[in-house]
Amino acid sequence: MIQDKTQKEIEQIVLKWGQINSDDFKSYCTRKHLVDCLNTLIQDKNHQTPYLLSIADNPQTEHLQIEWGTYDSPFGEAFIANSNRGLVSLHFLNPDDTEQNSLNVLTQHWPCATIDHNPATVKRLGQQLFSTRKTSHSIFVYVAANPFQVRVWQTLSTLAAGHLISYGQLAALCGQPGAARAVGNALACNPIGWVIPCHRVIHSNGQIGQYRWDTHRKMAMHIWEYSHFRNSSKFI
């Protein structure tokens, strides 16, 4: 696991995932840089969200057609599952969260679905999801969620790639000032990593905060997005 590695090994991993040089790494990883990103937050309600969110009424009884596979993303191997209704799972693998574990969770969550392994389809989808090129094609996402989770995820979609927001700022934008902890809980339940960009939410003091798929991966995602998309017309 990344947590068991030395600081130097962690730096090399983030440099690889973030695809930057050592000088930029030192600049982007400072608390000052992260706070500056928060202080320049601009919510763009006209920002074209890359995903369209649909809510499953009861995953336990839905007869979906699901295709799954793994993809070598810029941030390590990702488990991706897509259905005839939209993307149902995207998370990052590690020694404690293997491909088989991910498949077991998928099967338990959608017990009535037909689930097939389709590496070719997932590879094409992965290339789309992690592309640095601007696209007009939205990604359909199909998840089970309560109303507050939906509000948090949809509000977060107005934040463009390369920008950051604090838990408190996101709570206020959701109409629930003071509900930073509840926002954190909603983000922790996000089943679609990267696409629903919970990695863009940090603490107001500039600390990167927790991330379901490792805090170092979260930092690498910010570095990658900042270097590719900040002050750019591109988006993910």
28 with 223: CB under 8 angstroms?
yes
Rounded to whole angstroms, the Cα distance separating 158 from 156 reads 5
Rounded to whole angstroms, the Cα distance separating 18 from 196 reads 19
Strands of 114-117's sheet in order across: 51-55, 139-143, 87-92, 76-83, 65-73, 114-117
Rounded to whole angstroms, the Cα distance separating 160 from 44 reads 8
Of 153, 141, 139, nearest to 189 by C-alpha is 153
Indicate which residue of 29, 112, 174, 198 is catalytic: 198
Q: Are strands 76-83 and 201-202 parallel, antiparallel or unpaired?
A: unpaired
Rounded to whole angstroms, the Cα distance separating 221 from 216 reads 9
How is residue 94 annotated by DSSP?
Answer: B
DSSP, collapsed to helix, strand or coil, labels residue 89 as: strand
Q: Is 29 a catalytic residue?
A: no
Taking only Cα atoms into account, the Rg of the chain, rounded to an integer number of angstroms, comes to 17
Residues involved in catalysis: 198
